[in-house]
Amino acid sequence: MEVKNQKGRVQKGLFRAALLALAVALAVKVLFVDLMITQGRSMMPTLKPGSLLVVNKAAFGFRVPGAGMYLFHWSNPQPGDLLVFYTPLGERAVKRCHLANDDGTFFVRGDNDLESFDSRSYGLVPLDHILGKVVAYK
Can you give the pLDDT at residue 69? 86
The answer to whether the beta carbons of residues 93 and 84 sit under 8 Å apart is: yes
Can you give the pLDDT at residue 2? 59
Residues (pLDDT < 70) of the chain are: 1-4
Model confidence pTM above 0.85: no
Can you give the pLDDT at residue 3? 57
Phi and psi at 62, nearest 5°, equal -100, 115
Can you give the pLDDT at residue 1? 52
Can you give the pLDDT at residue 68? 80
Q: What is the DSSP string of 11-71?
A: HHHHHHHHHHHHHHHHHHHHHTEEEEE--SSTTTTTS-TT-EEEEETTSSEEEETTTTEEE
Q: Distance between CA 131 and CA 16 in Å, rounded?
A: 32
Can you give the pLDDT at residue 58? 93
Can you give the pLDDT at residue 63? 86
Instruction: Categorise residue 40: left if φ over 0, alpha if ψ from -120 to 50, beta otherwise.
Output: left
Can you give the pLDDT at residue 113? 93
Considering the chain, what is the average pLDDT of its residues?
90
The CATH class of 32-137 is mainly beta
Q: Distance between CA 28 and CA 20 in Å, rounded?
A: 12
Can you give the pLDDT at residue 12? 82
